[in-house]
Structure 1
């Protein structure tokens, strides 16, 4: 498969190289940045991991007047904090869900999601709509996740039974409490728990590149084209990484089922 070139997003790249408030226009610096942080914290408190397991549904009545993400981001570039709040509300929970699936730690995911939107705010002055806004946003989130993984030296991709788990209604429950529920047979619960742990462990053993592609395509439902732009690699590379990830997971899970 022939690969394609991907756009150079520039803004986030510049920020990663150390461009700080000195490159932010006056209307985005100082008190305005604090305002952006307050907005993120407010939305973070209302965010729910469980509500993002499915794609967000839009109200048909709002579709005709809904401003595009790219248009909103250009307004943010001009110092419009209301546009930033709209973007954050629109994409915070989906971004949180992506990060959670990548790091498998809710508290860490919430911190990294807040960091992602803070970086989005700081990147606004040099933003150019060269690709979909979500591609730009996930690129920032990816960098935040990879830096955290490098910092933690690849901590195990595991979760505690006591940790909150998102459910379909948007709330949380403790798996340990559900295991204790007498409606569940011990044997079935044990099998399900072991299978889940095997899957989590197998995903955690994937390389960063393979895990990124697997999570974005299989769990987030993004196209190969979108993932290629986020990962900054050809579509063919995305396909090969996806296939390699699936093969590795199949081998790991086959060994588990036959052990």
Structure 2
């Protein structure tokens, strides 16, 4: 196994507190809140700027949660529609991203449960799973590229197979650099409960990926 592939597996399967450094700042939140308050007054330019600032994070999170990139844009669009509709009643009691990802959580959980009830997961959907990382085709050899694709598929599946709260906690913590308290607000959990969800998720991911790690 190449050092790059091994590092990828170690990063996901052994996520540590020290590996995550939240990047969101109070100034970022101040900008978001100011924009959202303008959206509440039906400022379309402010709404477009808010979408520009956050659409990548929303689409990425939804795609990772559902395991299907083709559905992510539709769900993300619903997130922003709900932001627009709720803006006149919005009060900045928490960080804007907490408010936004709570909306995303509700939509994603509802969609996951709808699909589970109707058993609509098809082989085509599983084959089109959203990859969390993309190999560098300019530097990776064909063999290394194939190996990384296989590992990415294994990581995608391992994360997708987690219970929904564990899955979202992992995604928000690892890929959105979100602190425990904000994850707790999004998932309506205490900080100790968030840490417990992440601990169980780490163990499950390590078990799922052990055969790759052993190699």
Same fold (TM over 0.5): yes
Q: 1:86 to 1:204 in 2, by over 3 A?
A: same
Deviations 1:175-223 (A, max 9, x none): xxx6xx9x7344x344333322221111111000100100100111111
Divergent runs of 4+, >6 A? 55-58, 163-166
- Counterpart CA distance in 2 for 1:164 and 1:204 is 11
Deviation at 1:132, TM superposition (A): 0.6
Secondary structure of 1:122's counterpart equals helix
Match of 2:151 in 1: 195
User: 2:172, 2:183 within 8 Å by CA — same for their partners in 1?
Assistant: yes
Corresponding residue number in structure 1 for 2:209 = 253
How far the C-alpha of 1:56 sits from its partner, in A, is: 9.3
Deviation at 1:159, TM superposition (A): 3.8
8 Å Cα contact 1:158-1:200 kept in structure 2: no
Q: How far 1:167 moved relative to its partner?
A: 5.6
1:184 aligns with 2:115: no
Match of 2:176 in 1: 220
**Cα distance, 1:205–1:164 mapped onto 2, change above 3 Å:** closer
Structure 2 regions of 5+ residues with no counterpart?
1-21
Q: In the alignment, which of 224, 229, 234 is matched to residue 190 of structure 2?
A: 234
Match runs of 1:77-156 below 5 Å: 77-153=40-116, 155=121
> What CA distance in whole angstroms lies between the structure 1 residues aligned with 2:157 and 2:166?
14
Note the C-alpha offset of 1:255.
Answer: 3.9
Out of 150-159 and 90-99, give the one that drifted further: 150-159
Assess if the C-alpha contact under 8 Å between 1:135 and 1:229 holds in 2. yes
Structure 1 contact 104–159 (Cα < 8 Å) conserved: no
Cα separation, 2, equivalents of 1:237 and 1:56: 23
| Gap runs ≥5 in structure 1 | 1-54
1:160 aligned to 128, 141, 146, which one? 128
Q: Which has the larger radius of gyration?
A: 1
The answer to whether the Cα contact below 8 Å between 2:36 and 2:47 also exists between their aligned partners in 1 is: yes
1:76 CA drift (Å): 1.6
Give the TM-score normalised by structure 1: 0.62
> Which structure would you say has the larger RCO, counting Cα contacts within 8 Å and 6 or more residues apart?
2
Query: Contact 1:211–1:245 at 8 Å: present in 2 too?
Result: yes
CA 1:189–1:114 in structure 2 vs 1: closer, same or farther (change >3 Å)? Answer: same
127 and 210 in structure 1: CA distance in 2 versus 1, 3 angstrom threshold: same
* Mean Cα deviation higher: 233-242 or 150-159: 150-159
SS in 2 for 1:243: helix
Quote the residue 1:36 is aligned against: none
